[in-house]
Amino acid sequence: MTEPLLSAERLTRVYRLGEEAVVGVQEATFSVEAGEFAVLAGPSGSGKTTLLNLLGLLDTPDSGRLLFEGRDASSLDETSRARLRREKLGFVFQAHQLIPVLSAEENVAFALWLRELPEQQCRSRARQALRDVGLEGLESRRPGALSGGQRQRVAVARALVGEPALILADEPTASLDSATSERLLDLFVELHRSRRVAFLFSSHDPRIIGRARRRIDLIDGRIVSDVTVSPAGTIPTAAPPSGSGREGTPS
Amino acid sequence: MSGRWWKLAARNLGRHRRRTVLTGSIVVIGFIATTMTAGFVSQTFTGLRDVTVKGLGGEIRLVDPRAAGKTDDEAAAFLLESWEAVARGAAKDPAVVQAMPRLSFFGLVVKGDRSAGYLGTGTDPAMEQRASSLVEAVGEGKFLADPEADEVMLGTGLSKAIGAKAGDLVTVMTTTPDGALNAVDAPVAAILRYPIKELDDRLLYMPYRPASRLLKAEGKASSVVLLLKPGADAAEVAGRIAESLKRDGRPVVARTWLETATFYRQVKLLYVSIFFFMGLILATVVILATANTMTMSVFERTREIGTLLAIGMERGAVRALFLREGMLMALGGSVLGAILSLLLRAALNASGIELPPPPGGTHGAPLHVDFIPLAYLAGFVMMTSTLLLASWWPARRAARLDPVEAIAHV
Ligand SMILES: Nc1ncnc2c1ncn2[C@@H]1O[C@H](COP(=O)(O)OP(=O)(O)O)[C@@H](O)[C@H]1O
Ligand SMILES: [Mg+2]
């Protein structure tokens, strides 16, 4: 049995606002295996973002442990955390996450610039990643000239281009309309299949939640259920599946 | 490999074009102010130096060691025994163009029943013409010509005091170093318009020979003034000559023009202080303006910076990103500033604008701004260090952002 990619043990994060203490996440225990496709489900304020920040090594827990590939993440210094984030993880956020003065291709290449790879290699891998997310032909557009859905795809390409083990996506569809959201999920499913990259994303939208193989429910910072909905290897797909990555027009 | 980071910095500067242009123009103006002021100040110093040296009749003054450091009154009794021997010794130095005797004396000048006190100088007419600006001060009559002739030139103030005009005969009275009274009748060759009123009221010039006869001090002189070849280092030559005259058994004290020119040094100090103060104000303005722009830019890009930190950009790299923007601004501003400085300089120098005479001078000079490569280098160094300083805090702020909070920033 290989060890899990990530394993959280009684992770707790409490925000302090003066006298008041607000629970972000309480005693969260679960693990993410390589190649999983899981959703963090829960209403607004249930602790999805807090938990994803902890798992993504962006935030540190007040108590509990986080093991990353078997190593205790709390023993890592800031530099090692940054390196882990750029080499092992991919991030997709809600919105406004691209550099507006860089083209789609450069935004994706940026993730490789951080690893100081040669420009040629950064560029060709970025172009490939953009093809993989269905944005071929839009490489030289800047974010301002792309639609919301296209921008999220560029972000996915950026998360993907470094070949991470796990992509963390905090409400990636929150700023998209439902049709565009469905197509972004189609892309996730497709990439998950073809690249064997694990996905952990959060959502409060039942239709998006329904697409995941495993569903972890959060309420008031606590994990209230953790079920694998569909059998291993099968992931529910939206009907009809969309083959096109071109959704919407630039707003 | 860092090319892409510079490119990104350049594009980030292009984000708010108007803001960048505004901040950039402060840098450009700062640069131009530095080079132009340096060029102008340099010209002023050159002019002031010329005036000072011409006022003295040369770069180096040799006096008897006993007279050194004394007032003119006290020094009058301590003359160089043989000015010609001193001059011959000094003229052996290749940097010396000429060695001119000067004899200082004072007394009364009389015409009819009017008299006035004077400050007299006996000098060599030909050498004086070559080395000093005195000839330019001749208002009426002709400059002294015959080294043997009993002739005088009077300051305008002095000539008015006794009612003398060019061509009139006056009597010059003095006390010899031995204390005896002596006098000579001499025609007025010229009336001088001397720019300093106090001196204009007292000045009297006479050829050296008759002056030395009047003083009963033939062959002696208060000083020997040396004119040097252009570019010679006065201090070095002075040291050399003092040394060699000492070996000849004729010890002198050699003073350079700079040592005696208290005025020049004070003006220079004043200018340098003004220049420094101006630079300080300039640097402050540039720092405030750019730091403000940069802080705004960091604030606006908070969310973006948070994302970059989240996807694994090192904090140091984030800081470098903003410092690069500052450096680029300094570089661009300096290049543009240098081009505009050169154009402005060419335009000013071609304009034919006349400057008022420098302090102590008689003539204004056409405006000429010197080209001083060092000032361009200084401008660049100043702008770069200023902008680095200005972007330091904003860059540090950006690098210290907490990615979680920054991403949530709206
Ligand atoms: N920076 C913060 N300061 C104080 N409280 C916070 C902060 N971030 C989140 N919280 C609180 O923590 C809880 C969980 O928030 P969050 O993780 O953002 O939930 P979700 O992403 O599911 O909406 C909420 O009650 C929220 O108000
Ligand atoms: Mg959230």
For B347, counting Cβ atoms within 10 Å of its Cβ (0-12 exposed, 13-18 middle, 19+ buried), the class is: exposed
The pLDDT of residue A238 is above 80: no
CB contact under 8 A, A113 and B315: no
Nearest to A71 by CA among A10, A12, A3, A11: A3
pLDDT at position A74: 82
Interface check A59 vs B, CB under 8 A: yes
Query: pLDDT tens-digit profile of B257-290?
Result: 888 788 888 888 888 888 888 888 988 988 998 8
pLDDT at position A231: 57
pLDDT at position B2: 76
* A107-111 long-range Cβ contacts below 8 angstroms, 24+ apart: A107/A143, A107/A154, A107/A158, A108/A154, A108/A157, A108/A158, A108/A161, A109/A161, A110/A158, A110/B311, A111/A86, A111/A158, A111/A159, A111/A161, A111/A162, A111/B311, A111/B312
The reply to whether ligand 1 has any atom less than 6 angstroms from the CB of A15 is yes
Q: In chain A, how long is the greatest CA-to-CA distance?
A: 54
Q: What is the 3-state secondary structure (H, E, C) of B141-166?
A: ECCCCCCCCCCEEEEHHHHHHHCCCC
Polymer length of chain A: 251
Interface check A44 vs B, CB under 8 A: no
- Average pLDDT, whole number, for chain B? 89
pLDDT at position B361: 55
The pLDDT of residue B352 is above 90: no
pLDDT at position B268: 85
The pLDDT of residue B74 is above 70: yes
Mutation to test the A interface, candidates B311, B318, B401, most A Cβ within 10 Å: B311
The reply to whether ligand 1 has any atom less than 6 angstroms from the CB of A203 is no
Average pLDDT estimate for A35-42? 94
- CA-CA distance, A116 to B331, in Å (whole number)? 25
Query: Residue A48 is encoded by which pair of tokens?
Result: 């999805």
CB contact under 8 A, B304 and A78: no
Q: Which ligand is nearest to the CA of A94?
A: 2
- In the reported structure, the alpha carbon of residue B91 is separated from the centroid of ligand 1 by a whole-number distance in angstroms of 93
Polymer length of chain B: 410
Please give the CATH architecture assigned to the domain spanning A6-248.
3-Layer(aba) Sandwich (3.40)
Domain ranges of chain A: 6-248
pLDDT at position A240: 45
Query: pLDDT tens-digit profile of A48-67?
Result: 999 999 999 999 999 999 99
pLDDT at position B359: 58
pLDDT at position A237: 55
- Whole-number percent of chain A with pLDDT over 90: 78
The pLDDT of residue A242 is above 50: no
pLDDT at position A170: 95
- CA-CA distance, B57 to B36, in Å (whole number)? 31
For residue A100, what pLDDT band results from cuts at 50, 70 and 90?
very high
Average pLDDT estimate for B205-230? 93
For residue A243, what pLDDT band results from cuts at 50, 70 and 90?
very low
Interface check A34 vs B, CB under 8 A: no
Average pLDDT estimate for B215-221? 92
pLDDT at position A232: 52
Average pLDDT estimate for A42-47? 94
The pLDDT of residue B114 is above 90: yes
- CA-CA distance, B179 to B176, in Å (whole number)? 5
Contact between A87 and A58 under an 8 Å Cβ cutoff? The reply is: no
The pLDDT of residue A29 is above 80: yes
- In the reported structure, the alpha carbon of residue A47 is separated from the centroid of ligand 2 by a whole-number distance in angstroms of 7
Nearest to B370 by CA among B15, B40, B16: B40
